């Protein structure tokens, strides 16, 4: 009799430790925005009851899914590469993107704008720049959606740097 009680108690502990239920604690997920070294901004938040990790995919019960690079395979890592040396505004944009770059050394600069299907829609070879470069990129003819600006800078003395910035066209 004692053995069956001990097995029953052990069985209850095993079930309690391995069982899971839905979490009802709401999470706040950032729907859009970005960050730099010194600042983080948000364009809105969505409430989600739970998020799931399965097979390397992250899903949540909200409308927008996190980590949009799962769809395009493109990661935004421009701010991590260039810091505050590059400014692209406004974002989101409707007609014009203002690109501004300020570097501490002489080098060659090129820009590429890629749509969400990885199709090159704009390319600009700025050539050799001394310290600063500014360019207005007209995007009014492009359809609304997500675009990525690839910035390639090769200093005369040093290693080339590539950064990708996510651009939203309204």
Residues 6+ apart with CB under 8 A from 92: 167, 168, 169, 170
Higher local confidence (pLDDT), 23 or 93: 93
The residue segments making up the domain with residue 90 are: 78-169
Let me know whether 59 and 131 are in one domain: no
Among 47-61, 97-111, 155-169, which is the least confidently predicted range?
A: 47-61
Q: pLDDT band for position 140 (50/70/90)?
A: very high
Q: pLDDT band for position 34 (50/70/90)?
A: low
Judged by phi (left if over 0) then psi (alpha if -120 to 50, else beta), residue 121 lies in alpha
Q: Where are the beta strands (DSSP E) in the chain?
A: 27-35, 40-48, 51-54, 57-60, 86-89, 96-102, 107-115, 120-129, 132-138, 145-155, 161-169
User: Mean pLDDT throughout 131-145?
Assistant: 93
- Residue 71 confidence (pLDDT) above 80: no
Q: What is the pLDDT of residues 86-135, one digit of tens each?
A: 999 998 899 999 999 999 899 999 999 999 888 999 999 999 998 899 99
At residue 79, the pLDDT reads 77
At residue 36, the pLDDT reads 65
Q: pLDDT band for position 6 (50/70/90)?
A: confident
Let me know whether 56 and 89 are in one domain: no
Let me know whether 82 and 160 are in one domain: yes
Let me know whether 29 and 82 are in one domain: no
- Residue 46 confidence (pLDDT) above 80: no
Let me know whether 60 and 86 are in one domain: no
Residue 72 belongs to some domain of the structure: no
pTM (predicted TM-score): 0.57
Q: Which of 115, 105, 100 is nearest to 161 (CA)?
A: 105
Higher local confidence (pLDDT), 64 or 60: 60
Let me know whether 91 and 24 are in one domain: no
- 155: CATH: 2.60.40.1220
- Residue 50 confidence (pLDDT) above 90: no
Let me know whether 18 and 56 are in one domain: yes
Structural domain total, the chain:
2
- Residue 19 confidence (pLDDT) above 90: no
The answer to whether residues 48 and 29 touch, using CB atoms and an 8 Å cutoff, is yes
For 76, list phi and psi in degrees, rounded to 5: -85, 115
Let me know whether 17 and 40 are in one domain: yes
- Residue 3 confidence (pLDDT) above 60: yes
Boundary of a domain, candidates 67, 102, 122:
67
- Cα(130)–Cα(107) distance, integer angstroms: 7
At residue 68, the pLDDT reads 46
Give the DSSP letter of residue 93.
Answer: B
At residue 65, the pLDDT reads 41
Give the DSSP letter of residue 65.
Answer: P
């Amino acid at each position: 009799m004692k053995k069956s009680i001990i097995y029953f108690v052990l069985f209850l502990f095993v079930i309690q430790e391995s069982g899971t239920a839905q979490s009802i604690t709401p999470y706040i997920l950032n729907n859009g925005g970005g960050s730099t070294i010194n600042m983080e901004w948000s364009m809105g938040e969505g409430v989600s009851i739970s998020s799931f990790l399965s097979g390397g995919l992250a899903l949540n019960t909200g409308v927008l899914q996190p980590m949009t690079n799962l769809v395009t395979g493109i990661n935004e890592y421009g701010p991590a590469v260039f810091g505050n040396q590059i400014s692209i505004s406004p974002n989101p944009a409707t007609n014009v993107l203002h690109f501004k770059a300020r570097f501490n050394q002489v080098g060659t600069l090129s820009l590429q704008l890629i749509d969400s299907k990885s199709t090159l829609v704009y390319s600009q070879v700025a050539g050799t720049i001394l310290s600063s470069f500014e360019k207005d990129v007209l995007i009014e003819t492009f359809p609304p959606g997500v675009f990525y600006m690839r910035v390639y800078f090769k200093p005369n003395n040093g290693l080339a740097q590539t950064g990708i910035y996510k651009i939203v066209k309204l």
